[in-house]
A = this chain, B = another copy of it.
């Protein structure tokens, strides 16, 4: 495991920062790679923050910092890894051609490249994500998927490495990705030391969607459909299969399902399931036990509920409650 790499073999990490970048998207990976150097007692990674100009750059939280280099500077040595940091209000349509050209040229030459949070929009605009399995911040996952249909967006992962393309979900998932890269490059022991030093989990439970709460809370579509939706939203424990809902709407099941899908974009069953899971989340956050919650959202037994919950959030109801609920008795503040 111990290759005595010469200093010149240090891996060059480039982090591209756009205006009003999310500071954590830069700080997370930088501190992880830096800590890897510290723990290994030698320079494994060499960090560079890249900007479009050499001027000081504003982060979204107001901190002003200096990039190490710019996209106009000639590159003596190529990067080993290029990461695009996200920015909260990044609009892929307003990216400069120069920037996209630079990304399109340099990223593919790296051993691997990727993004954190909304940085994936930049890679997508540069055409580097086609046919790749990719993730991004849950709030822009749908946008990414719609604007670039050829990308396989998997919004529920914290990070995904598909070949050389490594994308992280929202903000703090950049830390998880960086740890995974260290793990891949230099082994589990070092990665674990780094995560321990930074007081973060080596492996976080569940996917990203447990943080999203997609608000399907707003009934939409024709008035008759909205009536039906309101019924489900207010009484999620009542039977809400296609047949029952169709009856409520006074339509034939087949016709109702067709109409529903046309207007809402989801099949009735799927929509109902999501509403139920969202309700379940909120109730679990109140601290109620999974068993009770299962009944409240229309499942006859906890087990089926747990499986449905796991399908959506990649974590179990009990686990979710532990992480998101208000204080269970003993808290240290």
Chain A residues engaging chain B, CB cutoff 8 angstroms: 22-24, 26-28, 30-31, 33-34, 38, 47, 49, 56, 59-66, 68, 88, 137-139, 154, 157-161, 166, 169-173, 175, 180, 188, 192, 195-205, 208, 211-213, 285, 322-327, 332-333
Q: Is the CB of B332 within 8 A of A63?
A: no
Q: Which residue of B lies closest to A169 (CB)?
A: B199
Pairs A–B under 8 Å by Cβ, sample size 11: A27-B28, A34-B62, A38-B88, A47-B61, A47-B62, A63-B66, A158-B199, A160-B332, A172-B175, A204-B323, A205-B323
Q: Which residue of B lies closest to A323 (CB)?
A: B201
Q: Is the CB of B138 within 8 A of A199?
A: yes
Q: Is the CB of A199 within 8 A of B180?
A: no
Instruction: Given A30-B63, A34-B62, A205-B323, check contact A198 B175 (CB 8 Å).
Output: no
By a CB distance below 8 angstroms, the chain B residues around A65 are 63-66
By a CB distance below 8 angstroms, the chain B residues around A323 are 201-205
Query: How many angstroms between the C-alpha atoms of A204 and B328 in the bound complex?
Result: 12
Best-surrounded residue of A26, A169, A175, A201 (most CB of chain B within 10 A): A201
Query: How many angstroms between the C-alpha atoms of A325 and B192 in the bound complex?
Result: 10
Q: Is the CB of A171 within 8 A of B31?
A: yes
